[in-house]
A and B are shown apart, each in its own frame.
Chain A
């Protein structure tokens, strides 16, 4: 079974600075996808960024980028120029490319942004 681990229950960053959230996963598959979801206090799950395992290039979405290390099974999220609206729970998720395509989530990291 796949497992996803987020070792940082809470992180704090100063507004306008950069923060990195860690995620590791365990799988024997070679074809899979990784995601970072944001969950603000509203509870809505919002996709931040996704990475295909077969792509070596790290995904980037505006201020959000990932460091994908396939051999190390590591998938960290970097948030640049942090904004107050970035404060939320962040979940790393894994999806094997097969029928069902369900997500396996990590336990989450609560990000606080200080003004």
Chain B
């Protein structure tokens, strides 16, 4: 199993540009998540999904959109990039409920200038 994969690993955007961060998992997990990690801080939840076709906002959703058309994929869309979105973005997945571990991807480092 590849686990959770994210592309790209690094990206530099200009203010106002848009991009999609890709996330794929091959563990047949129902739940998927997007977090952002600002320098020296813990992770904050952007969006999550409990299954294909179902998404919901997390703590910091503004400026982002998601979709979940398949169990495996959970892309994160940034519209009109702003410097405040400079961060490291992590995708994660898990089985539903309980003490199930969330498996994290390697992260995408995004810089908006």
Q: Which residues of A contact B (CB under 8 A)?
A: 4, 6, 33, 42-45, 47, 50, 52, 91, 93, 97, 99-108
CB < 8 Å: which of B31, B45, B56, B104 contacts A44? B104
Q: How far is the CA of A48 from the CA of B18 in the complex (A)?
A: 36
Q: How far is the CA of A108 from the CA of B41 in the complex (A)?
A: 7
- Note all chain A residues with C-beta closer than 8 A to B48: 100, 102
User: Provided the pairs A43-B88, A44-B104, A91-B43 are in contact, do residues A99 and B50 lie with their beta carbons within 8 angstroms?
Assistant: yes
Whether A101 and B96, one on each chain, are in contact in the complex, defined by CB atoms closer than 8 angstroms, is yes
Whether A52 and B101, one on each chain, are in contact in the complex, defined by CB atoms closer than 8 angstroms, is no
Whether B42 and A43, one on each chain, are in contact in the complex, defined by CB atoms closer than 8 angstroms, is no
A-B contact pairs, 12 of them (CB 8 A): A33-B98, A42-B106, A44-B104, A44-B106, A91-B42, A100-B48, A100-B50, A101-B96, A101-B97, A102-B33, A102-B48, A103-B43
Q: Mark B70-113, 1 if CB is under 8 A from A, else 0.
A: 00000000000000000010101010111111101011000000
- Note all chain A residues with C-beta closer than 8 A to B58: 102
State the Cβ distance, A79 to closest chain B Cβ, in Å.
Answer: 19
Total of A-B residue pairs, C-beta within 8 Å: 55
State the Cβ distance, B1 to closest chain A Cβ, in Å.
Answer: 15
Q: How far is the CA of A105 from the CA of B101 in the complex (A)?
A: 14
CB < 8 Å: which of A43, A52, A105 contacts B99? A52
Residue of A nearest to B47 (CB): A102
Whether A105 and B44, one on each chain, are in contact in the complex, defined by CB atoms closer than 8 angstroms, is yes
